[in-house]
Amino acid sequence: MKRLLPFWFVLFPLLLLAQEHGRHYTAPSDPLVQKNLAEWQDLKFGLLMHWGTYSQWGIVESWSLCPEDEGWCERRGPYSTDWYAYKKAYENLQTSFNPTRFNPEKWAAAAQNAGMRYVVFTTKHHDGFCMFDTHQTDYKITDTLCPFSSNPRADVTKAIFEAFREQKFKVGAYFSKPDWHSPDFWWPYFPPKDRNINYDLNRYPERYQHFRDFTYNQLEELCTNYGRLDLLWLDGAWVRPDSTVNRTESWQRGIPDGQDLEMHRIAAMAREKQPGIMIVDRWIPGPYENYLTPEQGVPDKPLGVPWETCMTMGNSWSYVPKENYKSPRRLIHTLCDVVSKGGNLLLNIAPGPDGAWHPEAYQRLEAIGKWMDVNSEAIYGTHSPRSRITRLGNMVYTEKGENLYAIYLAEEGEEQLPDQVCLRFLCPGKDRKITLLGCDTPLNWRCVDGDTVIWLPAGHCGELAGAYAWVFKIGS
């Protein structure tokens, strides 16, 4: 016989979990950062792009260089059996990178139409290749070794930021703290052993200080020469202060003491050059993690603090020739799910070696855009419902001012709303009106045993209101 667990037995772990989620968050104290963060939270939907020389091989971004026995570090191809030969061939990709179809205005227009409102671009990934015109290294797209350097828009970071700013986007720089090209991170004297520095930091502190200065200088360039920047999205959480290292986590085991970047210096510089800039030092609790960044998944509950899920539109962050893109329905549902829990969705599309996106990526954006044209009222500027009920069955909820939005997530192949829809455990006041976004006529509804039943008359305009998900607005 199945025995029911006592109520507290179920509730207590859930409460702990809820506390855990927001526990490590430190809200920014700078009013300009607070303002920027509040504006960003209202935008809800952004674009992430992972792009580098690795796109030419159609492989994972950077990770194949990392000598760890992990699935995502696996090397393939003719050089794969010899790490040194592989690193050389990988770095040589600089000499053939020539994305002549680069057209950031086309990306920005498609993203804007889809309802995206901010962009984050990989200015430098862990491999250390700079997609901007840094003066700290020649390992960059604008160096003469790279064929694209002769293109007037070789500084692709600049062109991307300008094109998206033109569409009124907030602009963010993804930047990897670790740099597997820098001789002060992986000193060529020793073989690298894992993702961390490969020398004893206590014996060679000047070398590491050099690396800190190099990183500071690169971030200073990004904060100085690239117009208004709203966000620094700093990846590579194994570069972190000792006090935050947890060696029971397998990926943190090898982190040496002192492998940090003195973030207070970087933040002070960044905020002097770019007042109000948000900093996301990912997964490092403290004043430089202005919002949390769960990856490839949506939390079960609202986190109670600012957050963003970053997620791939296909399966990979980087370009692969044959990508398996998620369906428009799944993407729209994910956006609704994230937003109902008070988060933002940062959706990744990877440009190819020629500088173009797959046509399927445009198709997805177009479908999302059509849906947003009708329904974005239930997305932008909303928050998680005060009732704390974000989802019941196929219905997710968002709220804005006096309006509650109930978003009906359609099943696969469900192209029409049923004649009757039920909002469980919800009874709006008698003065409330319920409409379907995209249709003006108020709908008939009634409270039945604590639930709301809505009737949709024959010939209602639900088809017009958008496929994949329908939004009921409960307002005045």
Binding site for ligand GLC (CB under 6 A): 61, 235, 295, 310, 317
d(CA 294, CA 298): 7
DSSP string of 289-341?
Answer: B-SB--BSS--SS--SS-BEEEEESSS-SS--SS--PPPHHHHHHHHHHHHHT
Residues 185, 126 contacting (CB under 8 angstroms): no
Residue number, 282 or 341, with CB nearest to ligand GLC: 282
Residues 166, 114 contacting (CB under 8 angstroms): no
Residue number, 147 or 254, with CB nearest to ligand GLC: 254
Pairing of strands 308-312, 344-348: parallel
- Which residue type is seen at 335? L
Token output for 313:
């539109």
CB of 62 to ligand GLC, least distance (A): 6
- Which residue type is seen at 130? C
CB of 467 to ligand GLC, least distance (A): 29
Q: Rounded to the nearest 5 degrees, what angle is found at the Cα of 121, between the Cα atoms of 64 and 75?
A: 5
CB of 240 to ligand GLC, least distance (A): 14
CB of 309 to ligand GLC, least distance (A): 10
Task: Determine the residue with CB nearest ligand GLC.
Answer: 310
* End-to-end CA, the chain: 49
**CA 133 to chain CA centroid, nearest Å:** 24
Closest C-alpha among 172, 229, 230 to residue 346? 172
d(CA 385, CA 167): 30
Token output for 271:
């905020």
Residue number, 235 or 289, with CB nearest to ligand GLC: 235
Residue number, 170 or 473, with CB nearest to ligand GLC: 170
CA torsion, points 88, 155, 224, 118, in degrees to nearest 10?
Answer: -100
Residue number, 107 or 175, with CB nearest to ligand GLC: 175
- Which residue type is seen at 134? T
Phi, psi (degrees; rounded to nearest 5) at 69: -85, 65
CB of 381 to ligand GLC, least distance (A): 26
Residues 396, 337 contacting (CB under 8 angstroms): yes
Residue number, 49 or 336, with CB nearest to ligand GLC: 49
Residue number, 349 or 467, with CB nearest to ligand GLC: 349
Residue number, 64 or 452, with CB nearest to ligand GLC: 64
Closest C-alpha among 133, 131, 136, 228 to residue 175? 131
CB of 329 to ligand GLC, least distance (A): 24
Residue number, 179 or 399, with CB nearest to ligand GLC: 179
Residues 188, 196 contacting (CB under 8 angstroms): no
Q: Find the helix or strand (DSSP H, E) in which 119 lies.
A: strand 118-124
Residue number, 295 or 373, with CB nearest to ligand GLC: 295
